[in-house]
Amino acid sequence: MDARRLWTLTAIACALCAVPAASTAFYLEDGSVKKPNTTIISDVLNRLTDSSKYDKRLRPRYGDKPVDVGITIHVSSISAVSEVDMDFTLDFYLRQTWQDPRLAFGKFDLGFDKIESLTVGVDYLDKLWKPDTFFPNEKKSFFHLATTHNSFLRIDPDGTVFTSQ
């Protein structure tokens, strides 16, 4: 491998390591970012998944109509195509969105301007109900893991959840 290619790979690796895996960000309607008191943010996140009001084992609006889950797939590569085994390898980003009214935070008195969305660490996703998405006829699947889990989680004030993995 020549020195230029090695230098480029090193620079990319350093840049990726410098980017935080996930953070809490608040975006205002005009697109600017406001940094409110982190105590208030923590309180909002704790109140959203308070076990006395939120049960992740129950889907949103349990007992009512099914949850509509929007799904998009962005294919990044197709490889290892085998006509003999009739299989292939597919790398893609899976994006899902659904509304969970239990996660609506627009009703909270946050003590500062209106928040457009909460972008939180992916570990918070473990506290939420998630759709059971599957691919029929798959042979093998797994989530790509680098140094951290490659996921994104955003919650809007009306309880709309957006994930990308």
Residue that wins the pLDDT comparison between 145 and 121: 121
Mean predicted lDDT score pLDDT of the chain: 77
Would you state the structure tokens that stand for residue 150, as one six-digit string? Answer: 């490659």
| pLDDT recorded at residue 59 | 94
Mean pLDDT in residue range 19-30: 50
Residue that wins the pLDDT comparison between 10 and 151: 151
| pLDDT recorded at residue 15 | 41
User: Which residues contact residue 112 at a Cβ distance below 8 angstroms, ignoring those fewer than 6 apart?
Assistant: 34, 36, 37, 40
Per-residue pLDDT at 37 exceeds 80:
no
User: Which residues contact residue 106 at a Cβ distance below 8 angstroms, ignoring those fewer than 6 apart?
Assistant: 114, 157, 158
pLDDT tens per residue, range 86-96: 888 888 889 99
Q: What confidence category does residue 62 fall into, taking pLDDT thresholds of 50, 70 and 90?
A: very high
Q: Is the pTM of this model over 0.85?
A: no
- CATH code, 58-164: 2.70.170.10
Distance CA 87, CA 78 (A): 11
Residue that wins the pLDDT comparison between 137 and 113: 137
User: Which residues contact residue 152 at a Cβ distance below 8 angstroms, ignoring those fewer than 6 apart?
Assistant: 22, 119, 122, 162, 163, 164, 165
User: Which residues contact residue 140 at a Cβ distance below 8 angstroms, ignoring those fewer than 6 apart?
Assistant: none
Distance CA 27, CA 54 (A): 25
pLDDT tens per residue, range 143-152: 776 776 778 8
